[in-house]
Chain A
Amino acid sequence: MNATAATTAARAVQATKVYGSGDNAVHALAGVDVAFGRGEFTCIMGPSGSGKSTLMHCMAGLDSLTSGQVFVGDLEVSSLDEQGLTNLRRDRMGFIFQAFNLVPTLSAEENIVLPLRLAGRSRDDDWFGRVVDTVGLTERLDHRPSELSGGQQQRVAVARALASQPEMIFADEPTGNLDSSTGTEILTFMRHAVDVFDQTIVMVTHDPYAAAYAHRVVFLSDGMIVDEMRDPDGDRVLDRMKQFGK
């Protein structure tokens, strides 16, 4: 149990997301109440189609709820318009995705500073150097994504998420396309960012051993939070996940 979970970085209140209508309606989120602690590494797990990505998108301002509320800090995300959501993402969020994480026509360095550029902010060279150094990309900054391995590309994505020092980083299956040792590397960086840089991270994953890097795991099933676990280890998470199959 981590004692720093005192303050909340973001939370959802009775978050509901319905796709389609009538007979075809899919309740991707069916009344989710959840809070993510500041400076904490939280993991969202659950079967495929349980609403993990949907929850993440709605909390990060990538998508809007059908009903309910989402707060980032004191800001009610669910009340924002398109421009407000863009500003939220730009100024306060960082993202790591499973696929299509980098702009193929930009170099690694340009990808890393892209959010800063979009925000019209100048980069903090000390911080940039430290982040690039941490993820071990110093030698590769001029390369295009196509000239980097999958693991290196994902490191660039991690560096990009860290470079703008966002309030929160959302990661959707960041290790889904990587072999286990590269995945371990990425997860280590992410945990490092939380422990050393006090970063807040919310990560969606299917891998119980990836979840073990988090402080806390919440389990989602059919659009609802069904369980959570503090200081998880891989085997316990695996056991919990197995129950969904039944």
Chain B
Amino acid sequence: MASKDQSPASRLRLSDVVRVGASGPRARKTRTALSALGISIGIAALVGVLGLSESSKSALLDEISALGTNLLTVEAGGGIGAGDGELPETALASAARIPTVTSASAVWNVDADVYQNEYIPEGETGAINVVAADVDLVHTLRGDVADGRFFDETTAPYPTAVVGSVAAERYGIRDLDTPTYVFIGDDYVEVVGILEEFPLAADLDRSVILSQQAASTFFDADDSPSTVFVRVLDGTIDETRDVLPGNTDPENPEEVTVSRPSDALEAQAAADDALTTLFLGLGAVALLVGGIGIANVMVIAVIERRGEIGLRRALGATQAHIRRQFVTEAIILSVLGGIGGVAIGVAATFVYASSQDWRVIIPQEAAFGGLVGAVAIGAIAGLYPAMRAAKLAPTEALRA
């Protein structure tokens, strides 16, 4: 029989540590599942909330980029000057002449009320108004026609109407398969087009639009445009913005307000939803509770396994081995919970985002951070039970 001197310092390979650490959770599957659940819920909440907010944000940004961020609106007002609060009649033509402007359109107010039909009591317009527009409006706004068509040079002289999306809904106009009319002023006007939404000019959604030419012939339309819309060359937003007031209203440039409607949408995309923050908070609380649950389960496991601990110590496991075993076990529990949580969070994001027709975006930081967080929580939760286990005297443990 060989008698040995001090053999080399004991080495436990990582695979051994993991195998040993996994043996506990594997042997008690129900308990493992339940104790990992808290972490799962927490991580699922974090991943799901971040995934959904990213997906919705990206949907909004997609929409913004489709609509273009190179649209500017020009309106009168805002200044304290002595002006008349109107743009000059030439504002549209002046704006269109600016070299960096690729297309320009305008909207004029029309002094007439619009009703679904003649029987609606006077004044009950349902906040739908009448405006006039030039033939390029839909093109300039990158809008779409849902049914029918917008005005063109040949139809512009005739009194026909195009309804905005909200106005169409109010009037119950779904399509133009049968001749459809709205009652403007004292006459019925045929509806020739239904528009899709204008996210960059939502006011127009609540409008019934006449061609500028017809409006000035048959109705009492303003001569000055209320709003001028301009599309500018990419990269020339700022310079165009600077010259627009002087060009459109040379007499009272300080009374002209230029704005960029896509800014509002971008601000909305950037805004941290209060609800998102709330759910993130709840997720963090669930993680904390999950961590405490794991610590709890590990304390119980240490008490239950005193015999095993004592035996391992008797057979030559060091205190560090025991500590590592229980910390690893806690980390395994927590990571199992973390993986489950990421899966649930991803699935939830996928289902909801798909139902909203959003592109599904899983923020990698959320998924990755969730797992790293799970490892950290497991390590912290396992530390105290592991130290207790390591401190057990072998004889004490064997007596149990």
Residues of A within 8 A of B (CB): 57, 60, 62-63, 73, 82-83, 86-87, 89-92, 95, 97, 99-106, 114-115, 117-121, 160, 165, 167, 197-199
B8 CB to nearest A CB, Å = 7
Instruction: Give the interface of B toward A (CB within 8 A).
Output: 1-4, 6-12, 16, 23-24, 26-27, 307-308, 310-319, 321, 393-395, 398, 400
Contact A119 B10 (CB under 8 A): yes
Closest A residue to B311 using CB positions = A100
Contact call A62/B314, Cβ cutoff below 8 A = yes
| Given A105-B24, A105-B27, A118-B10: A95 and B318 interface contact (C-beta under 8 Å) | no
A86 to B393: give the CA distance in the assembly, Å: 11
A118: which B residues are within 8 A, CB to CB? Answer: 10, 12, 312, 315-317, 321
A36 → B minimal CB distance (Å) = 14
Q: Which of A87, A100, A117, A160 contacts B310 (CB 8 A)?
A: A100
CA distance A134 to B1 in the complex (A): 16
Return the contact of B10 from the options A90, A97, A99, A199 (Cβ within 8 A). Answer: A90
Q: Are A86 and B4 in contact (CB under 8 A)?
A: no
Is B316 in contact with A119, judged by CB distance below 8 angstroms? yes
Say whether A197 contacts B311, CB under 8 Å. no
Of A89, A97, A114, A199, which is within 8 A of B398 by CB? A97
CB distance from A103 to the nearest CB of B (A): 5
List 19 contacting pairs A-B, 8 Å CB cutoff, sorted by A: A62-B314, A82-B319, A86-B313, A86-B317, A87-B6, A89-B313, A89-B314, A90-B316, A90-B317, A99-B307, A100-B398, A105-B23, A105-B26, A114-B312, A115-B315, A118-B312, A118-B315, A119-B316, A167-B3
**CA A103 to CA B24, docked complex, whole Å:** 11
* CB of B316 to closest CB in A, whole Å: 2
CB distance from A176 to the nearest CB of B (A): 14
B397 to chain A, nearest CB (A): 9
Q: How far is the CA of A160 from the CA of B314 in the complex (A)?
A: 12
- The minimal Cβ–Cβ distance linking A35 to chain B, given in whole angstroms, is 17
Contacts of B8 in A (CB 8 A): 120
User: Please, which residue of chain A has its CB at the minimum distance from the CB of B28?
Assistant: A105
Query: A100-B398, A117-B16 known; A90 and B3 CB under 8 Å?
Result: no
In the assembled complex, how far is the CB of residue A57 from the closest CB belonging to chain B, in whole angstroms?
A: 5
Which of A57, A87, A104, A165 contacts B395, CB < 8 Å? A57
- Whether B27 lies near A95 (C-beta < 8 A) is no
